[in-house]
């Protein structure tokens, strides 16, 4: 048993490291090529084959994955979510890494349980788990940004009252803030330094992150530029309003935590029991893996999914 666990862990870890290492090597070659292109002509000559043939197979594979995303009209969504999650991967590279992780997970589960069905299901679940990880990072960064935004607005307003310009106030806030707010606003400052208006850069930031509070800030600034008034007072008012909404939102999250936990426990318990029984006594569930047992399992899965969706909808309250 110990030897099986060690072998399974080694296979899974090896697949994951091979995929990550391959993608990392390609990124390093890109950085090396960019550095060489910045040198004066002829200072460091590199054969074309050295930067093309060694990565041709991987680029073709990434290209196929990218074509698949474009075929299913998912290219824009995957690219936007990877950007929001701050993952340094192209959409095709993400698909390749997700498939490689699914293969490693499938082999690991197969060697641990000696059940081919569980291995296949784990392989199919691998890409979904990778996508869930991306969505989780996006959600966590968005929540962290929303929590930092009121203090950032107050800091910008204080700088404006001290006599600084709007751009300088934003730069000061970036220097004193932490990620993810500092990372996103640093991009705004960079776009502004290239000649883009500050409000337009902020509007693109709001669209990129899909945060309603930030969109309200941009709209309020545009209205203030039209009708006049003190921008510092406006930002102080918006900051206080966001703090009040955040307090109510946290209180609602606490009051609905039991309902969300119940949904995941009640939904995951039948699935966990099925896999546990299938692993400990495969013959016991053999009738369920052929007709009409498969129809019963399908109906149970639909019922579980509908129950989870219903409970989560009941406890979802928009503030």
> Higher confidence at residue 135 or residue 40?
135
Residue 236: per-residue pLDDT: 93
Q: Express as a percent the part of the chain with pLDDT over 90.
A: 14
Residue 6: per-residue pLDDT: 47
Q: Express as a percent the part of the chain with pLDDT over 70.
A: 77
Q: Output the CA–CA distances (angstroms, integers) from residue 106 to 11, 122, 126, 277, in the order listed.
A: 10, 5, 8, 19
- Sketch the domain layout of the chain as residue ranges: 2-114, 142-249, 256-315
pTM reported for the whole predicted model: 0.71
**DSSP category for residue 288:** G
Calculate the average pLDDT of the chain: 79
The pLDDT tens digits for 140-198 are 999 899 889 999 999 999 999 988 888 899 999 998 888 889 989 999 999 998 888 88
Backbone φ/ψ region at 39: left (φ over 0), alpha (ψ -120 to 50), beta: beta
The Cα–Cα gap between 194 and 200 comes to: 12
Please choose, from the candidates 222, 231, 232, the residue with its C-alpha nearest in 3D space to the C-alpha of residue 200: 222
142-249 to CATH, choices 1.10.3210.10, 2.10.260.10, 1.20.81.30, 3.40.50.1980: 1.20.81.30
H or E element at residue 96: helix 91-113
The model's confidence at residue 317, banded by pLDDT at 50, 70 and 90, is confident
The pLDDT tens digits for 25-68 are 555 655 655 555 565 544 555 555 444 544 555 566 666 666 66
Tell me whether the omega of the peptide bond preceding residue 100 falls within 30 degrees of 0, making it cis.
Answer: no
The Cα–Cα gap between 133 and 135 comes to: 5
> Higher confidence at residue 40 or residue 278?
278
């Amino acid at each position: 048993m110990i030897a099986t666990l060690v072998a399974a862990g080694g296979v899974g870890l090896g697949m994951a490291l091979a995929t990550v290492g391959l993608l990392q090597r390609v990124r390093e070659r890109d950085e090396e090529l960019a550095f060489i292109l910045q040198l004066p002509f002829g200072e460091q000559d590199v054969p074309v084959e050295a930067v093309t043939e060694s990565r041709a197979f991987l680029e073709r594979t990434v290209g196929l994955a990218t074509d698949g995303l474009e075929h299913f009209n998912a290219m824009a969504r995957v690219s936007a979510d990877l950007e929001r999650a701050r993952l340094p991967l192209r959409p095709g590279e993400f698909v390749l890494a997700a498939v490689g992780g699914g293969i490693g997970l499938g082999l690991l589960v197969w060697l641990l349980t000696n059940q081919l069905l569980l291995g296949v299901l784990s392989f199919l679940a691998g890409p979904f788990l990778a996508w869930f990880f991306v969505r989780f990072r996006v959600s966590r960064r968005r929540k962290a940004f929303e929590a930092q935004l009121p203090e950032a607005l107050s800091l910008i307003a204080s700088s404006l009252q001290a006599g600084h310009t709007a751009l300088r106030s934003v730069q000061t806030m970036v220097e004193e803030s932490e990620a993810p707010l500092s990372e996103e606003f640093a991009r705004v400052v960079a776009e502004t330094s290239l000649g883009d208006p500050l409000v337009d850069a902020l509007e693109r930031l709001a669209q990129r992150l899909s945060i309603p509070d930030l969109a309200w800030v941009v709209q309020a600034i545009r209205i203030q530029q039209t009708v006049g008034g003190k921008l510092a007072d406006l930002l102080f008012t918006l900051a206080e309003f966001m703090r009040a909404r955040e307090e109510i939102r946290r209180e609602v999250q606490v009051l609905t935590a039991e309902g969300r936990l119940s949904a995941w426990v009640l939904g995951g318990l039948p699935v966990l029991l099925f896999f546990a029984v299938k692993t400990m006594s495969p013959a016991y569930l053999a009738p369920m893996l052929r007709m009409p047992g498969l129809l019963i399992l399908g109906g149970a899965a639909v019922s579980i999914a509908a129950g989870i969706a219903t409970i989560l909808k009941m406890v979802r309250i928009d503030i």
